[in-house]
Homo-oligomer: A and B are copies of this chain.
Amino acid sequence: MAKNCNFIDKLREVGLRPTKQRVKMCEVLFNREKTFHFTINDLVKMISEQMNQKISLATVYNTVHAFEKKGYLKEISIDSHKSYFDTNTSIHHHFFDEDTHELIDCDESDIDPVNIKKNITGKKINSVEVLIKVASDNQTQK
């Protein structure tokens, strides 16, 4: 449980009060080997299970958005019918599995830098991200 102290400090650093809901949320989100993608519903389920009690949906929304504003989380728009968040807040590319609706991060080394030859006058480029949609290869070839 030494990890919790880290989260309390981390929360304090960015001016968020370390309530038990937020610390638990940090555990669920950040106390893991690899970054991951989730929906609000996923998250509510995970937190409720780990706390053995309900957490208010509004709190999850508010806190996710607070984390987003502080740069702890990033919103990913892949499917207009669903909102995905990402604990990997860097600019990065994704595979999207159209069968399972699963998002998979693309390593820097998996894709060559994208070369953009045009620019919009008066505008600067903030990010360049690639989305690769994949689906199962059931070609039933004769």
Contact = CB atoms under 8 A, between A and B. Distances in A.
A79 interface: yes
A28 interface: no
Copies in the assembly, this chain: 2
B134 A124 contact: yes
A130 to B, nearest CB: 5
A139 B54 CA distance: 46
Nearest to A137: B124
The bracket for how many chain A residues form the interface is 35 or more
A128 B123 CA distance: 24
B116 A109 contact: no
A53 interface: no
A64 to B, nearest CB: 13
Contacts of A19: none
A46 interface: no
A33 interface: no
A83 interface: yes
A135 B124 contact: yes
Nearest to A139: B124
Interface of A: 75-80, 82-84, 95, 97-98, 104, 106-107, 109-112, 114-118, 120, 122-137, 139
